Structure 1
Amino acid sequence: MNIGRGLSEIPSHLKDVQQKHKETLRVQTETLRVNTILTKEKVKIFQLVNLYTELTVISTVRDRTLVEHELLARGRDHEEWRKKHLRRELEKIRTDQLFQSSFSRRKSKSGSSAAVSGVAGIGKTTMVQKIVHDWATGKVYPHFQFVFSFRFRDLNAINCRINLRNLILDLYPYFGNILGELWKNPEGLLFTFDGLDEFKDSINFADNRRNTEPQYMCTDPEDWCEVSDIVYSLLQHKLLPGCSVLVTSRPTALHLLEKAEISVWAEILGFVGEERKEYFNKFFEDQSVAAAVFNHVEENEILYTMCYNPSYYWILCLSLGPFFTQRERKQQRVPKTITQLYSYYIYNILKNHGREIESPRDVLLKIGEMAFTGVSKKKIVFRNGDLIKYNLQPSQFLSGFMMELLERDDSAQSVVYTFPHLTIQEFVAALAQFLSPYPGNIRKLLSEAHNKEDGRFEIFLRFVVGLSSSQSARPLEEFLGPLLHQTICGVIDWVKEKVEGQIGKTERETGKRNLLNTFHYLFESQNKTLARVTVRSVETLTFSELRLTPIDCAVLSHVIGLCDTIKHLNLGGCSIRCEGLQRLGTVVHKCQVLRLAGNQLEDSGVKLLSAALRNPDCKIQTLELWYNGLTASCANDLSSALSTNRSLTVLNLGNNKLGDSGMKLLFTALRNPDCKIQELRLDDVGLTDSCTEDLVSALSTNRSLTDLNLGSNSFTDRSVPALRSLILTRRSLERIC
């Protein structure tokens, strides 16, 4: 409302054109065309307003120096972003706020520019479509009299000099000769440019020639120049100063805008929290199916992590939906791992399009070999030359796996090919290893890929190991025939060798990370016998100071759950928090020593631990919980668990803020004659003189405690006599600090 104040009313002779323009944009943007290559339709059309789910956009752009795989990196950080947003450390921007001055980092009197970044498939194009649609229907940005929307992919087709007037008239010819009227009020104009990373021309905002040499300058809508000069001049407010510009880009091209006159920087995080559930509800007409699919995904941390990205959502919904809508699909076969999910993804393509070619196995092998070369060289765009090299012909079947995109180089327009997502490329590359009649040395290939330090093969390797599982291979074998047994055996032997070689080598961070990666292989394989054989002699697992995601914790839970030998689990400083502990909650009771210091589990985490301590099969003898953000709110659960537990002998609660009220509840548990605790560390937990009487009473009753640490609490001289008396009367208390 504040933005709209003081704007002049649009001249009457422009109102008719404005209404026609709004109607044109409304029609152009009201539907959403989505490639659904898993079905016979291939393209599905939705009403935008019915499917669109608001994405989380934050007013910052983070460091882009990432060496990890995109899916893993985002999964590792996404929950942290959500928490920061809840704590108001990250400010969320609605799409109707992108030009608000409160979000501007750079003030400009000549206009406003906003840059929105986001990874592939996160929804940048759909967001721009929604903004244009909402403007056309009068829902947002009423102060903009006209909005002009361009895609860099379309601008690539222009191979001659052009001016802004003709650029607009090519798309919206009904503006005729009235554009000159629009130039008089640039404050009422918004230009959107989607997909900077797809632009064939370079725009260097640090290049001073654009400001000094006439051939690069574009200061008038009638000036004939290159498309890149027009975009540059609009963003730098040299052309139509006062207008607003929105540009979107993948992070890979974001550096091009570092020197640009950008007022608002923003990043699309994707779906966070309830937005994920909302998308499932909109995707499935049957809400019972939507609920069933969402519940399955939510229970599987690996699948749930994928849900931040709309592209992954399509894979999840299209692959999982049939399991909850078709009676012949048995519920126990619903995919549990990412490999199983992608197996059904390919299965559905084969089911709908496999009859279009003579030998799906041969064609898929060639596609997979090309995909593997791409993974090796970090290549995601393939040209006709690549297809010829691998003896592939454009076909309906091929388009089921690869998207065709138009690209323009200096000479002509051509078609290029890309997989719908990098993970699909990696899966097909992994599948190819099992289709070749000449397997080669699969163990050597896997070892070389495993030793790459830039993470490019991380998901590929998980897919390869996952495909060695009969449960993952079964749906594919229906159309491709049996996967090569020799390769399967080689993969299993390689995994066994890796796990056994890395057990015990966890002194350094690299050793811990390598062992964790091999545990991920065990999880993807779902081979219980392999897991038991490889971890059968392990008594200690140490991942201290290695940051673990909820996915990592789910994998550890899987491994520990299959092995009865692990006695010592050290996850100190792993930042697992409550979400990670929730994944481990069903197995931690099996360990004798459980070190969880410095994880910020908070009170909700202790509630989960208390359930493990109450388990009648609990074997936990040592529990370290110092520096975990605990307060008096968790004391009742912990006290209840300690009153029934018969295994715990060492408990460290230091550096938490339990306070007198919380500790009084715990002292009640200590008075229980069956309490077995021998060592108790309560340094810096917020004790004062007011709890001295309860402490003395508890310790006078308890006969098992021999070691007590009360350091760094707020006792005064008033407590000294009572504590001294306790020491004198409790001869069994060998050490008190």
Structure 2
Amino acid sequence: MVQKIVHDWATGKVYPHFQFVFSFRFRDLNAINCRINLRNLILDLYPYFGNILGELWKNPEGLLFTFDGLDEFKDSINFADNRRNTEPQYMCTDPEDWCEVSDIVYSLLQHKLLPGCSVLVTSRPTALHLLEKAEISVWAEILGFVGEEWKEYFNKFFEDQSVAAAVFNHVEENEILYTMCYNPSYCWILGLSLGPFFTQRERKQQRVPKTITQLYSYYIYNILKNHGREIESPRDVLLKIGEMAFTWVSKKKIVFRNGDLIKYNLQPSQFLSGFMMELLERDDSAQSVVYTFPHLTIQEFVAALAQFLSPYPGNIRKLLSEAHSKKDGRFEIFLRFVVGLSSSQSARPLEEFLGPFLHQTICRVIDWVKEMIEGQIRKSGSKTGKRNLLNTLHYLFESQNTALARATVGSVETLTFGDREAECTLQLTPIDCAVLSHVIGLCDTIKYLDLEYCSIQCEGFQRLGPGLHKCQVLRLGANKLRDSGVKLLSAALRNPDCKILRLWLWDNGLTASCTEDLSSALSTNRSLTALNVGCNNLGDSGVKLLSAALRNPDCKIQELDISDNRLTDSCAEDLYSALRTNRSLTWLNLRTNSFTDQSVPALRSLILTCRSLEWIQ
């Protein structure tokens, strides 16, 4: 992305007000082990600037500095540390001042050095907390591919458009794989791993991957198939690669040097190049080769795979517990892969080249998952507890072990990820929703599901929807479901096996457009007794449609909250007409609407009809 920004600036497409753009990578800056000044930092990378830098300092507004990959920087920059502003050894207010690289970056960002210049810093989410105290005026999140761009990628990836269509259809039908497609790197992995299933006749009868672990198993399988014959013992070499990868996951590093390979008795080879990319890097004014996995998740997968190749399974549970205890998320994906690889379906393709996974390791991983889930269910009251529980549900999904799922969550009656206080709730991604739907689908005991303030939105709700009819109490308030989300929920209400008794949909941005579907569902539903659609924008036309459902003699609604919905006198007669024939409703909330004295006769009749009516003008 940074390269494109620099290219577009150089060709005049963006930022015409900048005279010069200086681009640095934190990965390169890690090689600087001494104090340096901004002048030499620039000349080291741009030697042709010679002695003209002094002229540039006179117009800092014309300078843009980009620093790419803060998450890869070896030093931690504390932007809340006031020592940098008061103690001489940390101060860097002049391009000629000698200091640490971290001090230069700090001073540029905090406008202490060359005030008026512009600075762009990029980072993976794992290091964003370092920038919270920095004086940053604009934040941007890179979303990657959206909508039709996913399909377009596969059409360009495969020459055979029938294969492209088959791969995309499989991805589209699979919630977890589909939600990965925003990331171009994931699309590349999907294309490499899934393509053979739709192009090689002998592979068509095998089950196409549906979890990320299964997907990555076939990614590695294809490398082993193409390069496995080039080395005497692929299992031993892959174990060493995995051990090295795990060490670097632990240290949050993604770049390997020749010294790292030597330490693990690895030699550069065509086999190794199947797993890792070779990059030319500057090191002390010289060129050297460094290695990195094509994507961080591939590094995490190989690190997980090494646990099953090791002949010593004794410490696996201790390792998993220690990894799970880290609160910075560095092992989150690694742990999902470990549990996923305990499944025979994920292990089978790799065992063809690597030999059988150690049975003791598989058993100990499964036992650890059981203990973790049972413990997290009991501790899911806090936000941290909710996050830990959600992570363990991801483990269950990756394992695809139905017996394990039913043994651990088969008797759970309550799942709570929301809260009436927004700051105590957990934000759920579409992938989280797909995992949650999978768990609900496996268990028939979950009666109460609280997802209030979870920011699910319509895309997440699409993933969550299929299993919702099995729950008795659904709290879905403040989730921005919009009308399209409620249309999906109406399908659950129409399900003949629907068990939903109480449904909260307050503050979801609903309008009259969704009430036709909702009204139709209420007319046929035989279970729902309480509905809260308060704090929306149903309006008079929406309530008129709901009134039609209330007139249906089969409607079972006993409690209805339509407060704060911009209702006026126009709908009062419709409500009165509906409730004059309705025999189930006993509680109605109409507060915070726009009724006037003209509605008093009809509303008085409502009070007499519903003995427990709560009404505040």
* Residue of structure 2 equivalent to 1:316: 190
Q: Which residue of 1 aligns with 2:474?
A: 594
1:126 Cα deviation from its structure 2 partner: 5.1
Match of 1:736 among 608, 613, 617: 613
* CA distance 1:405–1:556, change in 2 (3 Å): same
TM-superposition CA deviations, 1:424-470 (whole Å, max 9, x none): 11111110110011111322221221121111111110000000111
Q: Indicate if the aligned counterparts of 1:671 and 1:699 stay in contact, CA closer than 8 A.
A: yes
Matching residue's letter, 2:493: L
* Deviation for aligned residue 1:589: 0.7
Number of aligned residue pairs: give it: 591
SS of 2:531 mapped into structure 1: strand
Within 1, Cα distance between the matches of 2:156 and 2:298?
Answer: 24
| CA deviation string 1:150-179 (max 9, x = no partner) | 99989989x9x9xx9xx99x9999xxxxx9
Do residues 125 (structure 1) and 6 (structure 2) align?
Answer: no
Q: State yes or no: 1:269 paired with 2:142.
A: yes
Residue 194 of structure 2 is aligned to residue 286 of structure 1: no
Q: Is the 8 A contact 1:696 1:726 kept in 2?
A: yes
Equivalent residue in structure 2 for 1:492, among 350, 366, 385: 366
Question: Is structure 2 residue 313 aligned with structure 1 residue 439?
Answer: yes
Q: RMSD across aligned C-alpha pairs, in angstroms?
A: 4.5
TM-score, normalised by the number of residues in structure 2: 0.81
After superposing the two structures, state which structure 1 stretch, 482-491 or 329-338, moved more.
Answer: 329-338
CA shift in 2, pair 1:250/1:531, >3 Å: closer
| Superposed counterparts of 1:519-668, under 5 Å | 519-545=393-419, 546-547=425-426, 548-668=428-548
Seen in structure 2, the aligned counterparts of structure 1 residues 640 and 128 have a Cα distance that, compared at 3 Å, is same
Matching of residues 70-85 of structure 1 within 5 Å: none
Residue 557 of structure 1: how far off its partner (Å): 0.5
Q: Would the alpha carbon gap of residues 491 and 725 (structure 1) be closer, same or farther in structure 2, given more than 3 Å must change? A: same
Pair 150,722 (structure 1): closer, same or farther in 2 beyond 3 Å: closer
Counterpart code for 2:2: K
- Provide the residue aligned with 2:233 in structure 1: 359
Q: CA deviation at 1:591?
A: 1.2
> What is the CA–CA distance in structure 2 between the aligned matches of 1:395 and 1:668, rounded to whole Å?
73
Q: In the alignment, what sits opposite 1:39?
A: none
SS of the residue 1:269 aligns to: coil
1:706 matched residue in structure 2: 586
Aligned to 1:511: 385
Whole-angstrom distance in 1 between the partners of 2:68 and 2:598: 71
Matched residue type, 2:193: S
Q: Relative to 1, partners in 2 of residues 1:585 and 1:493: Cα closer, same or farther, differing over 3 Å? A: same
Partner letter of residue 174 of structure 2?
N
What SS does structure 2 have at the residue aligned with 1:734?
A: coil
Amino acid paired to 2:244: M
For 1:581 and 1:200, locate their aligned partners in 2 and report how far apart those are by CA, in whole Å. Answer: 40
1:184-217 deviations in Å (ceiling 9; x for gaps): xx99x9999785869999999999998768798x
For residues 627-661 of structure 1, the C-alpha deviation after alignment (integer angstroms, 9 at most, x for no partner) is 22211111111111111111111111222221111
> Contact between 2:6 and 2:21, CA under 8 Å: does it hold in 1?
no
- 1:648 is paired with a residue whose SS is coil
> What is the CA distance between 1:726 and its match in structure 2?
4.1
Higher relative contact order (CA 8 A, sep 6+): 1
The aligned counterpart of 1:29 is none
Q: Summarize deviations over 1:336-361 as a string: whole Å, max 9, x none.
A: 11111111111111111111110000
What residue is the counterpart of 1:462 in the other structure?
336
User: Counterparts of 1:233-244 in structure 2 under 5 Å?
Assistant: none
SS at match of 1:736: coil
Structure 1: stretches of 5+ with no match in the other structure = 1-122, 174-178, 217-225
| Secondary structure in 2 matching 1:514 | helix
| Residue of structure 1 equivalent to 2:322 | 448
**CA offset at residue 551 of structure 1?**
1.0
SS class of match (1:708)? strand
- Indicate whether 1:391 and 2:271 are aligned: no
State the AA in 2 paired with 1:578. Answer: C
Whether the 8 Å CA contact 1:658–1:686 is kept in 2: the answer is yes
Partner deviation per Cα, 1:115-156 (whole Å, 9 max, x = no partner): xxxxxxxx4335545666xx3xx9889999999999998998
1:473: how far off? Answer: 0.8
Structure 1, residues 311-346: CA drift from partner, whole Å, max 9, x if none? 333222222222233333237622211111111111
Measured at CA, do residues 618 and 210 of structure 1 come closer, stay the same or move farther in structure 2, by a change above 3 Å? closer
Preserved CA contact (<8 Å) 2:257 2:289: yes
CA contact (8 A) 1:196 1:253 kept: no
Report the Cα distance in structure 2 between the residues aligned to 1:526 and 1:707, rounded to whole angstroms. 44
Q: Tell me how far 1:727 sits from its aligned partner.
A: 3.8
What's the counterpart of residue 683 of structure 1?
Answer: 563
Return the offset for 1:585: 1.3
**SS state of the match for residue 308, structure 1?**
coil
Aligned counterparts of 1:693 and 1:319: Cα–Cα separation in 2: 62
Contact in 1 for aligned 2:145/2:183 (Cα 8 Å): no
How far apart are the structure 1 equivalents of 2:28 and 2:380?
A: 52
2:422 is aligned to: none
Aligned position for 1:6: none
Query: Taking structure 1 as reference, are residues 144 and 692 closer, same or farther at Cα in structure 2, changes over 3 Å only?
Result: closer
Q: What is the identity, as a one-letter code, of the residue corresponding to 1:581?
A: F
Instruction: Give 1:573's aligned amino acid.
Output: Y
Residues in 2 aligned to 1:469 and 1:362: alpha-carbon distance in whole angstroms: 22
How far did 1:695 drift? 1.0
Q: Take 2:316 and 2:74, find their aligned partners in 1: how far apart are those partners?
A: 39
- Alignment partner of 1:478 is 2:352: yes
User: What amino acid is the match of 1:724?
Assistant: R
Please state if 1:328 is matched with 2:328: no
After TM superposition, give the deviation of residue 386 of structure 1 in Å: 2.5
* CA distance 1:631–1:248, shift in 2 (3 Å): closer
The separation in 2 between residues aligned to 1:202 and 1:695, in whole angstroms, is 63
| Matching of residues 68-147 of structure 1 within 5 Å | 123-125=1-3, 128=6, 135=11
**What secondary structure, in the 3-state scheme, does the structure 1 residue paired with 2:142 have?**
strand
CA distance in 2, matches of 1:393, 1:373: 18
Rounded to whole Å, the distance in 2 between the matches of 1:597 and 1:357 is 57
Mapping 1:18-57, distance limit 5 Å: none
Distance 1:671-1:534 versus aligned 2 partners, 3 A rule: same
Residue in 1 that maps onto 2:211: 337
Which moves more between the two structures, 311-320 or 662-671?
A: 311-320
CA separation of 1:540 and 1:210: change in aligned 2, threshold 3 A: closer
Q: 1:214-225 residue pairs with structure 2 within 5 A?
A: none
Q: Is the CA contact (8 Å cut-off) linking 1:302 and 1:551 kept in structure 2?
A: yes
Rounded to whole Å, the distance in 1 between the matches of 2:359 and 2:606 is 71
* Equivalent position amino acid for 2:325 in 1: N
What's the CA shift for 1:486?
Answer: 1.1
In 2, Cα distance between the equivalents of 1:495 and 1:392? 33
What fraction of aligned residue pairs are identical, expressed as a percent? 74
Secondary structure at 1:433 match in 2: helix
The answer to whether the aligner puts 1:430 opposite 2:308 as a matched pair is: no
Q: Is the 8 A contact 1:339 1:463 kept in 2?
A: yes
User: Aligned equivalents of 1:289 and 1:366: distance in 2?
Assistant: 36
Question: Counterpart in 2 of 1:381?
Answer: 255
- For residues 524 and 315 of structure 1, the distance between their equivalents in structure 2, rounded to whole angstroms, comes to 17
Q: Which structure has the bigger radius of gyration?
A: 1
Offset from partner CA, 1:54-96 (integer Å, 9 cap, x none): xxxxxxxxxxxxxxxxxxxxxxxxxxxxxxxxxxxxxxxxxxx
CA shift in 2, pair 1:667/1:360, >3 Å: same
Partner residue of 1:696?
A: 576
- By how many angstroms is 1:666 displaced? 0.6
